[in-house]
Amino acid sequence: MHSLLSRLRYAGVGVAVLLSGCNMEVLTPKGDIGAHEKSLILIALGLMAIVAIPVIAMTLWFPWRYRSGNKKAAYAPNWSHSTRIELVVWTIPAIIIVILAAITWTSSHALDPYKPLQSEAKPVTVQVVSMDWKWLFVYPEYGVASVNELAFPVDRPVNFQITSDSVMNAFFIPQLGSQIYAMAGMETKLHLIAREPGSYDGLSTNFSGEGFSDMHFKAIATSEDGFKDWIAKARATQATLDGESYKTLAQPSQKAPVSYYGQVTSGLFASVVNKHMGDMSHGEMPMDSHHDISQADMPMDMHHHEDGDAVSSNTTPTQAEK
């Protein structure tokens, strides 16, 4: 027994050492969506523990109880059935499954990433483009853009419009919640809000090649004045993000530094979406401020059908930037 306790002690120390490098950001949410998702994780864990903990305990207790040296244990070699045991092992898991199903149904609709957040504050629209291997953030309402740095005010919803200019990626800010995919030729949407100021880690969670491990960005939640200062800093930059500079930026690179663009060509995000739509967009669209986007060349917006399935539709450039 002493030997067993000693081994368990060493195992516990080993687990603690291995987990010391883990970052529990998902369990320290700073926004409404993240807080709801944390609750779901804990509720699901608690319900599963109702079964898991007794099973683990019994796997340890049964060998000890019915060891060959314990003469007090009942010996029943012909035992084969117990109605009471059958009721327990089937009824409790069934109840847990029903509860989890109800929670899953309601939370899937309540936390739909395409569902705008209810708030009296005006949302901030950010258009996100995943590249090899960096993130581009365009602010169409302010005419600025940034690479690998994102800023927004606390207590204001952020409406993300997300696409990819390369392979499929996944956009995720763990402390704010809800990972969503970025796909070439498509626009996905995500709505988040931060309730505490801070600098939060963002990353890609879908392997996308050689530079994937360094595909990180900072999400800065700040005050209204701090956000205005950040926009002013971006506008003060002389760099312009137009067709030519975008092609340069889109070249594969690793560990790209944070950079800003004080001016952005109108319709850039729609052009990035359309150039991957093949015959639907009649070829790659030039990304310059003089190009008129026709109704046939609108970006594909992934939205939800009445029965819950995701379908695509054409949207106007104005809709794409709202």
3-state secondary structure of 230: helix
Which pLDDT band, with edges at 50, 70 and 90, does 72 fall under?
A: confident
Which residue in the block uniquely carries the two structure tokens 């500079």? 245
- Please give the pLDDT value at position 310: 42
- Please give the pLDDT value at position 288: 45
Domains of the chain plus CATH, in order, are 26-50+87-111 (no CATH), 124-288+310-320 (2.60.40.420)
| Residue 213 scores a pLDDT above 70 | yes
What phi-psi label fits residue 316: left (phi over 0), alpha (psi between -120 and 50 degrees) or beta? beta
What's the CA gap between 27 and 37, in Å, rounded? 9
- Please give the pLDDT value at position 79: 85
What's the CA gap between 105 and 179, in Å, rounded? 18
| Residue 77 scores a pLDDT above 60 | yes
Q: What is the pLDDT of residues 92-140, one digit of tens each?
A: 999 999 999 999 999 999 999 999 999 999 999 999 999 999 999 999 9
Looking at the chain, the whole-number percentage of residues with pLDDT higher than 70 is 79
Whole-model pTM?
0.76
- Please give the pLDDT value at position 175: 95
Angle between helices 32-65 and 83-110 (to 10 degrees): 170
| Residue 322 scores a pLDDT above 50 | no
| Residue 34 scores a pLDDT above 80 | yes
Q: What is the pLDDT of residues 246-299, one digit of tens each?
A: 999 999 999 999 999 999 999 999 999 998 887 554 444 444 443 433 333 444
Q: What is the pLDDT of residues 142-173, one digit of tens each?
A: 999 999 999 999 999 999 999 999 999 999 99
Q: What is the pLDDT of residues 183-209, one digit of tens each?
A: 999 999 999 999 999 999 999 999 998
CB 146 within 8 A of CB 234: yes
Which pLDDT band, with edges at 50, 70 and 90, does 66 fall under?
A: confident
